[in-house]
């Protein structure tokens, strides 16, 4: 029985959900979902979601949230494009990444130093960022940075995605930083009392989320061919849904795993893609996604509660036995 | 007693600080007024600002209810818009009383649904709120698209029933909301039990309060405020555009900022009195920005975001324990 | 006398494995002032909480005024004219004091003025000092808040008033007011049950005293026939059990100082505490729960900042200011709140076990080898005889004793020089208790300096080389280990 791992409900349910949803839309769309063109489309659409989730997973593991990444991505890439217009497209890449990381650090600073809930802070940044983007677009027509169109090529995308997944997988699953992140989500007081600098870890997590937003931003601005009001719109919601659809609890902790995030990303993209293929109106798809989000959360909370009840029953029995012994 | 005199001293200090803040705000607006060539501090402008602050004030009352209950839920934006649509429809068909009842009821149903979801399932309110926002937005948008397919704009309220949104009527609504909120908060068991539960659920339970019931009633109360806000909003603006893609979240940022400011001021003022004042101030700030030619929806939003963070910091200072 | 008001028969209450009350029988007469005496954890507060309707009894029955009495809530108890002032502060800080007094019993419309007048009337009727009841409860000082809670209890017009450590936080003047109040209640033929750590006070103001030990009610005696020393002897009366504890009766450690605190004060109320911990020494801290003993552990580990004074880790010649340093320099801290602070309850044994060792186990390029971690956790699972299905079981599913084994074992698995333990045997069964003492003895043998904070006197006496007794944030006395260690000696300083 050594090292025998019990399969947790939360670890497998998301895979079933993905399979069922994929099968459902394959049938409902009369096979259009399975066409080569559509499969390629799904793969293109899933890229920004996966990259965004890879950044966000650290903050989610802490039990916090970052819903500013869409606005962060759009704003920072646009500002960087404007700033580097005279220098050349290449410069836009580092400038975007630096800007978005700094913005992430700013959020982290407000959350750790002033103890404002991360949801509130990032929501305010979301509104502020979108407003600032509209302000920039008011009088300017901003095209994509020149000379870096390779960012949109298929091969680059594949390489970028693979490298990012590999790096984040390593950091999140196989370093002490990732381990501490998950511990903080489980019980922040424990990590503090052991003597680990929780504030520093939290700050870095928000910086990582910012950095990922920057990567998405620069890729998307090139893909779209310029900045628009809707650049990376709803990215933050897709990322949240991807992560929760993957079976990660909102409280974070050790339920957070990279493979779940990838499964969840595909699930949400397939849902959106399938709804479009089935010619469901945008309003109805929004409603479906909203209900889905709530239902998924109820399922994950329910699964984790079953597990906890089982544990507590075992504990009560163990206590009883120790008294009788 | 010693502590008593100490308290008096600190109270004096508080009043002094308060007076300084008030003076600073007044001076600031006087200076701005000079820059704007006297267009800000005119009776007409201030009256318009006041009228414009009525809807945010009522929404802020609703927000203060949910914040006091330790709930962060930003779906009210979509609820207000949904209510406005319902109000317009009912008003045109059946007149003012029906639309008030229908509007308030819509708000109550939505908020009760939200509260049930996070009280029963224990999902964090902010994420459940996001999910429900999408649902409410979709309902309003579906109706709007249906209208469009019929070749109409969204429902436009007939001018003859817009009494609640016009100049004398809107002030009545304002006063009515303040009085109702004041009584409910400070002089009914509903308000007091809800406040106790939000502050310290364990103690409230020991003191004999049925905490689940108290919370649900709080949800109903918040819903009634949001519903009423929707009614007044429809009457004030005649029509409300349905929005999708979570854009309704930003529509409640102004009242939310006002609520946070009022909560930060709660040491000096009764919360219910502080809310209309802070809402008026914030509406005035954005009025000034508009006068100086900064269009809404762009830079104003940026400022709004920053203001929210600042006020959240002010209101949050005393919280101890783990913040996610 | 002889007119029985409240009769309790065979009351039982347990929390998990601890039997807080065992078959308690009690009779309370009209107009009787009853004191409850007993050590920490002897079940006094639990008994009173059941009478006041805060807890429900597991079994047994109560008869009030000749009628069955089984309150589901404090409100129900109030309606039967039983009211209690609890030990911890139980008020809603953001509501005015007057509202707090009537909270949960208000009519639909609430008039602040009326509430205030009524509360004032109550306080006047019982000769309590006049307070400004308009103020928020949260902005009042502890003393005034206690008074407000008292008014809340008296507003019920109680036949039985229960006071749990009310005088502890009060000044001399207010204590006198309480004594006067108790006499007045008696003169109106109402009864009072009270707990106080001040034994002299207890004897002075009560008619009779019931003595509890380990959840059992031993006997009820007339206060007038009792001296303070008698009472102490009856309360304690527990013999040191040789099997658990050390068998030697001299202090044994090396001369080398490994850890010291120099004139440390904090914002939380610790005043000028100095100590020296030697290699292989067990230094125990004793005191009431609000005496500041639990703060000492946090200060020592760098979790609580000091306003004055310095904390030195002498082995490494560094000053401890942050907990990150302590972790790095072979120190360990086992907090008191095991379920809330020490453990990640919903996570696996392995994750909990390896957490403090992560820094050392990190390999090149920050690589965490889970094989190594698993092996470590599994070896220690065997070493500490954990009763579990495997290291992937969640901590939630363990018994209290096994949880504590994980809590302590994860530190002992490391190479330590200082170990700080706060209430190491709280909520564990006897078997594990003995095992934990054995672990501590072994750690001592290895030369680890142990700072043991405890609210169990017998534990301190059984294990420590030196005992430091604290009261109100100050160090009161240091007692060396000897064969004639006496609980009385410590209790005297503590209370």
C-beta atoms of C92 and B186 within 8 A: no
Identify which of B72, B128, B141 has the shortest CB distance to residue A120.
B72
Structure tokens at C123: 């306080």
Query: Closest by alpha carbon to C23, among C45, C38, C8, C34?
Result: C8
pLDDT for residue A265: 95
CA distances from A126 to A58, A93, A123, A132, A290 (A): 19, 22, 5, 10, 19
| Torsion-angle region of B269 (φ positive above 0: left; ψ -120 to 50: alpha; else: beta) | beta
Contact A205, A181 (CB under 8 A): yes
- Mean residue pLDDT of chain B comes to 87
- Cβ within 8 Å of A, C 119-178: none
What proportion of chain C, given as a percentage, has pLDDT over 90? 39
Residue B30 has pLDDT above 50, yes or no: yes
C-beta atoms of C399 and A315 within 8 A: yes
Query: Which of C172, C204, C236 is at the close of a domain?
Result: C236
Best residue of A10, A254, A315, A325 to probe chain C, by most C CBs closer than 10 Å: A315
- Which chains reach chain C with 3 or more Cβ–Cβ distances below 8 angstroms? A, B
Confidence of residue B146 (pLDDT cuts 50, 70, 90): confident
pLDDT for residue C311: 93
Is residue C27, in this structure, part of any structural domain at all?
yes
Phi, psi of C117 (to 5 degrees): -60, -45
Q: Which residues of C touch B204 (CB under 8 A)?
A: 92, 103-104
β-bridge partners, A302? none
Structure tokens at B184: 């409910």
Question: CB-based contact (8 Å) between B131 and chain A?
Answer: yes
Does residue C230 share a domain with residue C265?
Answer: no
Confidence of residue A279 (pLDDT cuts 50, 70, 90): confident
Domain count within chain A: 1
Q: Which residues of C touch B3 (CB under 8 A)?
A: 141, 144
Does residue C348 share a domain with residue C465?
Answer: yes
Residue B5 has pLDDT above 60, yes or no: no
Confidence of residue C288 (pLDDT cuts 50, 70, 90): confident
Structure tokens at C413: 């698995």
| Cα–Cα distance measured from residue C73 to residue C51, given in angstroms and rounded to the nearest whole number | 10
Query: Closest by alpha carbon to C122, among C138, C101, C142, C94?
Result: C101
Residue A1 has pLDDT above 60, yes or no: no
Best residue of C326, C340, C397, C434 to probe chain A, by most A CBs closer than 10 Å: C397
Q: What is the mean pLDDT of residues B278-302?
A: 87
Ordered by where they begin, the domains of chain B are: 36-316 (1.10.3470)
| Cα–Cα distance measured from residue A152 to residue A216, given in angstroms and rounded to the nearest whole number | 11
Is residue C150, in this structure, part of any structural domain at all?
yes
Structure tokens at A152: 């949109």
Identify which of B122, B141, B316 has the shortest CB distance to residue A115.
B316
CA distances from A33 to A25, A117, A238 (A): 7, 40, 20
Residue A4 has pLDDT above 50, yes or no: no
Report angle CA B130, B133, B134 to the nearest 5 degrees: 95
| Cα–Cα distance measured from residue C310 to residue C260, given in angstroms and rounded to the nearest whole number | 8
Where in the sequence is the domain holding C147, given as residue range(s)? 4-236
- Mean residue pLDDT of chain C comes to 87
CA distances from A314 to C37, C81, C234 (A): 36, 41, 39
Best residue of A124, A132, A184, A292 to probe chain B, by most B CBs closer than 10 Å: A124
Residue B320 has pLDDT above 50, yes or no: no
CA quadruple C41, C47, C52, C54: dihedral sign: positive
C-beta atoms of B195 and C144 within 8 A: no
Query: Closest by alpha carbon to C352, among C298, C408, C400?
Result: C408
Is residue A38, in this structure, part of any structural domain at all?
yes
Instruction: Give the residue from chain A lying closest to B143, CA to CA.
Output: A283
User: pLDDT tens digit string along C97-129?
Assistant: 999 999 888 888 888 888 999 999 999 999 888
Does residue C144 share a domain with residue C34?
Answer: yes
Is residue A4, in this structure, part of any structural domain at all?
no
Residue C495 has pLDDT above 70, yes or no: no
User: pLDDT tens digit string along C10-45?
Assistant: 889 887 767 788 899 999 999 999 999 887 678 888
Where in the sequence is the domain holding A107, given as residue range(s)? 9-324
Structure tokens at A212: 């990922």
For chains A and C, what is the number of CB pairs under 8 angstroms?
A: 133
CA dihedral C69, C74, C75, C79 (to 10 degrees): 40
pLDDT for residue C287: 82
Query: Closest by alpha carbon to B305, among C182, A71, C167?
Result: A71
Residue A95 has pLDDT above 90, yes or no: yes
What residue has token string 């079994």? C59
| Cα–Cα distance measured from residue C75 to residue C64, given in angstroms and rounded to the nearest whole number | 16
Query: Closest by alpha carbon to C350, among C287, C392, C305, C379?
Result: C392
d(CA C61, nearest CA chain B) in Å? 22
Residue A6 has pLDDT above 80, yes or no: no
Identify which of B195, B196, B208 has the shortest CB distance to residue C73.
B208
Residues C425-439 as b/e (b if ≥16 CB within 10 A, e otherwise) read: bbbbbbebbbbbbeb
Confidence of residue A7 (pLDDT cuts 50, 70, 90): low
CA distances from B152 to B145, B161, C128 (A): 9, 20, 72
d(CA A203, nearest CA chain B) in Å? 13
C-beta atoms of C94 and B3 within 8 A: no
Does residue C131 share a domain with residue C277?
Answer: no
Q: Which residues of A touch C398 (CB under 8 A)?
A: 314-315, 318
Q: What is the mean pLDDT of residues B185-197?
A: 92
Identify which of B121, B127, B313 has the shortest CB distance to residue A116.
B313
| Cα–Cα distance measured from residue B273 to residue B269, given in angstroms and rounded to the nearest whole number | 7
Domain count within chain C: 2
User: pLDDT tens digit string along A219-246?
Assistant: 999 988 888 888 888 899 899 999 998 9
Where is pLDDT greater, at B268 or C341? Answer: C341
Is residue C252, in this structure, part of any structural domain at all?
no
Query: Closest by alpha carbon to C112, among C104, C122, C101, C123?
Result: C101
Is residue A2, in this structure, part of any structural domain at all?
no
Residue C372 has pLDDT above 80, yes or no: yes
Residue B222 has pLDDT above 80, yes or no: yes
Best residue of A116, A190, A279 to probe chain B, by most B CBs closer than 10 Å: A116
Q: What is the mean pLDDT of residues B235-260?
A: 86
CATH number (domain holding residue C317): 3.40.50.300
Confidence of residue A170 (pLDDT cuts 50, 70, 90): very high
- Which chains reach chain A with 3 or more Cβ–Cβ distances below 8 angstroms? B, C
pLDDT for residue B1: 37
- The DSSP symbol for C253 reads -
Lowest-confidence region among A211-225, B72-86, B241-255: B241-255
Identify which of B131, B300, B305 has the shortest CB distance to residue A293.
B131
Confidence of residue A181 (pLDDT cuts 50, 70, 90): very high
Question: CB-based contact (8 Å) between B306 and chain A?
Answer: yes
Does residue C399 share a domain with residue C275?
Answer: yes
pLDDT for residue A317: 83
d(CA B1, nearest CA chain A) in Å? 36
| Cα–Cα distance measured from residue B105 to residue A230, given in angstroms and rounded to the nearest whole number | 35
Confidence of residue B2 (pLDDT cuts 50, 70, 90): very low
| Cα–Cα distance measured from residue C392 to residue A1, given in angstroms and rounded to the nearest whole number | 10
pLDDT for residue C182: 93
Does residue C73 share a domain with residue C39?
Answer: yes
pLDDT for residue C244: 63
Question: CB-based contact (8 Å) between C472 and chain B?
Answer: no
| Cα–Cα distance measured from residue C403 to residue C16, given in angstroms and rounded to the nearest whole number | 13
Does residue C48 share a domain with residue C186?
Answer: yes
User: pLDDT tens digit string along B60-96?
Assistant: 999 999 999 888 898 999 999 999 999 988 988 898 9
Is residue C369, in this structure, part of any structural domain at all?
yes
CA distances from B100 to B58, B65, B159, B177 (A): 14, 21, 16, 13
pLDDT for residue C290: 73
What proportion of chain B, given as a percentage, has pLDDT over 90? 41
CATH number (domain holding residue A299): 1.10.3470
**Helices A69-83, A118-139: crossing angle, 10 deg rounding:** 40
Q: Which residues of B touch A110 (CB under 8 A)?
A: 309, 313
Does residue C289 share a domain with residue C180?
Answer: no
pLDDT for residue B318: 53
pLDDT for residue C239: 47
Query: Which of C236, C269, C292 is at the close of a domain?
Result: C236
Question: CB-based contact (8 Å) between C343 and chain A?
Answer: yes
Is residue A292, in this structure, part of any structural domain at all?
yes
Where is pLDDT greater, at B10 or C380? Answer: C380
Contact A116, B323 (CB under 8 A): yes
Q: Which residues of B touch A65 (CB under 8 A)?
A: 126-127, 324
Residue A183 has pLDDT above 90, yes or no: yes
Does residue C281 share a domain with residue C158?
Answer: no
User: pLDDT tens digit string along A289-322?
Assistant: 899 889 988 888 888 888 888 888 888 888 777 7
């Amino acid at each position: 029985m050594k090292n025998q791992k019990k399969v947790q409900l939360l670890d497998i349910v998301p895979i079933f959900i993905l399979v069922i949803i994929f099968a459902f839309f394959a049938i409902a769309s009369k096979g259009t979902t399975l066409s080569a063109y559509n499969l390629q489309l799904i793969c293109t659409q899933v890229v920004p979601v996966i990259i965004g989730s890879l950044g966000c997973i650290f903050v989610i593991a802490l039990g916090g949230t970052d819903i500013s990444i869409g606005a962060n991505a759009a704003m920072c890439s646009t500002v960087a494009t404007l700033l580097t217009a005279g220098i050349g497209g290449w410069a836009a890449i580092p400038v975007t990444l630096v800007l978005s990381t700094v913005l992430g650090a700013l959020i982290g600073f407000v959350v750790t130093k002033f103890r404002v809930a991360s949801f509130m802070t990032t929501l305010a940044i979301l509104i502020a960022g979108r407003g600032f983007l509209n302000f920039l677009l008011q009088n300017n027509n901003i095209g994509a940075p020149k000379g870096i169109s390779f960012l949109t090529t298929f091969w680059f995308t594949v390489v970028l995605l693979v490298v990012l997944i590999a790096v984040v997988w390593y950091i999140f699953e196989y370093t002490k930083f990732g381990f501490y992140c998950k511990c903080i989500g489980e019980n922040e007081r424990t990590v503090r009392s052991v003597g680990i600098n929780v504030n520093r870890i939290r700050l870095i997590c928000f910086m990582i989320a910012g950095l990922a937003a920057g990567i998405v931003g620069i890729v998307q601005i090139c893909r779209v061919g310029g900045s628009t009001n809707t650049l990376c719109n709803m990215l933050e919601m897709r990322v949240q849904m991807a992560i929760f659809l993957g079976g990660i609890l909102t409280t974070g902790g050790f339920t957070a795993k990279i493979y779940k995030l990838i499964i969840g990303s595909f699930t949400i993209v397939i849902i959106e893609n399938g709804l479009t293929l089935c010619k469901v109106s945008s309003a109805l798809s929004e409603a479906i996604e909203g209900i889905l989000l709530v239902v998924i959360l109820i399922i994950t909370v329910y699964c984790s509660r079953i597990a906890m009840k089982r544990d507590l029953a075992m504990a009560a029995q163990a206590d009883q036995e120790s008294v009788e012994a | 007693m010693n502590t008593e005199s100490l308290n008096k001293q600190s109270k004096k200090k508080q009043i002094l600080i308060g007076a300084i803040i008030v003076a600073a705000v007044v001076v600031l607006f006087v200076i701005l007024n000079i820059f704007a060539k006297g267009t800000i501090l005119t009776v007409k402008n201030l009256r318009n600002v006041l009228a414009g602050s009525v809807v945010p004030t009522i929404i802020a009352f609703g927000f203060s209810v949910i914040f006091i209950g330790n709930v962060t839920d930003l779906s009210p934006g979509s609820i207000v818009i949904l209510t406005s649509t319902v109000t317009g429809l009912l008003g045109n068909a059946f007149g003012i009383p029906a639309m008030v009842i229908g509007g308030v009821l819509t708000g109550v149903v939505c908020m009760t649904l939200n509260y049930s979801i996070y009280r029963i399932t224990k999902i964090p309110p902010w994420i459940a709120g996001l999910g429900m926002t999408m649902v409410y937005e979709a309902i309003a948008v579906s109706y709007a698209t249906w209208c469009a397919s019929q070749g109409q704009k969204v429902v436009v309220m007939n001018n003859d029933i817009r009494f609640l949104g016009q100049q004398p009527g809107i002030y009545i609504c304002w006063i009515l909301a303040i009085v109702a909120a004041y009584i409910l908060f400070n002089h009914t068991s509903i308000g007091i039990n809800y406040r106790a539960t939000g502050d310290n659920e364990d103690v409230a339970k020991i003191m004999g309060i049925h905490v689940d019931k108290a919370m649900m009633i709080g949800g109903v109360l918040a819903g009634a405020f949001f519903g009423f806000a929707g009614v007044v909003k429809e009457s004030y603006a005649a029509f409300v555009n349905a929005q999708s893609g979570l854009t309704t979240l930003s529509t409640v940022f102004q009242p939310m900022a006002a609520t946070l400011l009022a909560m930060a001021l709660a040491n000096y003022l009764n919360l219910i009195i502080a809310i209309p004042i802070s809402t008026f101030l914030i509406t005035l700030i954005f009025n000034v920005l508009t006068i100086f030619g900064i269009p809404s929806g762009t830079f104003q939003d940026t400022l709004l975001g920053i203001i929210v963070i600042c006020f959240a910091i002010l209101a949050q200072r005393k919280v101890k324990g783990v913040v996610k | 006398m002889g007119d029985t008001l409240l009769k309790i028969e065979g009351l039982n209450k347990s929390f998990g494995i601890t039997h807080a009350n065992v078959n308690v029988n009690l009779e309370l007469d009209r107009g009787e002032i009853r004191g409850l005496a007993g050590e920490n954890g002897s079940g006094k507060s639990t008994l009173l909480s059941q009478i006041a309707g805060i807890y429900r009894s597991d079994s047994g029955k109560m008869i009030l005024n000749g009628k069955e009495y089984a309150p589901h809530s404090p409100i129900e108890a109030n309606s039967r004219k039983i009211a209690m002032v609890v030990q911890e502060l139980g008020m809603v800080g953001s509501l005015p004091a007057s509202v707090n007094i009537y909270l949960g019993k208000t009519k639909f419309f609430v008039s602040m003025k009326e509430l205030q007048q009524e509360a004032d009337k109550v306080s006047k009727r019982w000769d309590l000092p006049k307070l400004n009841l308009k103020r928020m409860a949260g902005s009042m000082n502890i003393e005034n808040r206690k008074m407000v809670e008292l008014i809340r209890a008296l507003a019920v017009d109680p036949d039985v008033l229960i006071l749990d450590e009310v005088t502890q936080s009060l000044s001399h003047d207010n204590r006198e007011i309480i004594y006067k109040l108790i006499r007045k209640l008696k003169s109106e033929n109402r009864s009072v049950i009270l707990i106080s750590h001040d034994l002299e006070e207890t004897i002075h103001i009560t008619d009779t005293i019931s003595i509890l030990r380990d959840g059992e009610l031993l006997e009820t005696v007339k206060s007038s026939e009792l001296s303070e020393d008698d009472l102490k002897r009856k309360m304690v009366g527990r013999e040191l059990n040789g099997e658990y504890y050390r068998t030697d009766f001299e202090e044994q450690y090396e001369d080398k100082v490994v850890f010291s605190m120099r004139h440390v004060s904090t914002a939380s109320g610790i005043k000028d505490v100095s100590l020296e911990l030697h290699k292989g020494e067990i230094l125990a801290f004793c005191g009431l729960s609000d005496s500041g003993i639990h703060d000492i552990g946090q200060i020592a580990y760098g979790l609580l900042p000091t306003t004055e004074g310095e904390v030195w880790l002498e082995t490494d010649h560094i000053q401890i200011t942050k907990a990150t340093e302590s972790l790095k320099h072979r120190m360990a801290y086992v907090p008191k709140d095991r379920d809330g602070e020490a453990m990640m309850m919903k996570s696996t044994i392995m994750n909990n076990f390896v957490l403090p060792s992560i820094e050392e186990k990190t390999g090149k390029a920050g690589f965490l080898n889970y094989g190594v971690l698993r092996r470590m956790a599994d070896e220690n699972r065997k070493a500490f005889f954990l009763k579990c299905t495997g290291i992937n079981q969640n901590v939630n599913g363990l018994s209290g004793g096994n949880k504590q084994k994980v809590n302590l074992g994860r530190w002992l698995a490391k190479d330590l020089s200082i170990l700080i333990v706060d209430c190491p045997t709280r909520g564990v069964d006897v078997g594990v208790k003995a095992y934990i003492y054995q672990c501590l003895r072994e750690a001592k043998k290895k030369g680890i300096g142990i700072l043991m904070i405890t609210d169990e006197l017998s534990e301190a006496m059984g294990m420590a080389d030196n005992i430091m007794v604290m009261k109100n944030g100050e160090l009161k006395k240091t007692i060396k280990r000897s064969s004639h260690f006496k609980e009385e000696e410590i209790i005297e300083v503590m209370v």
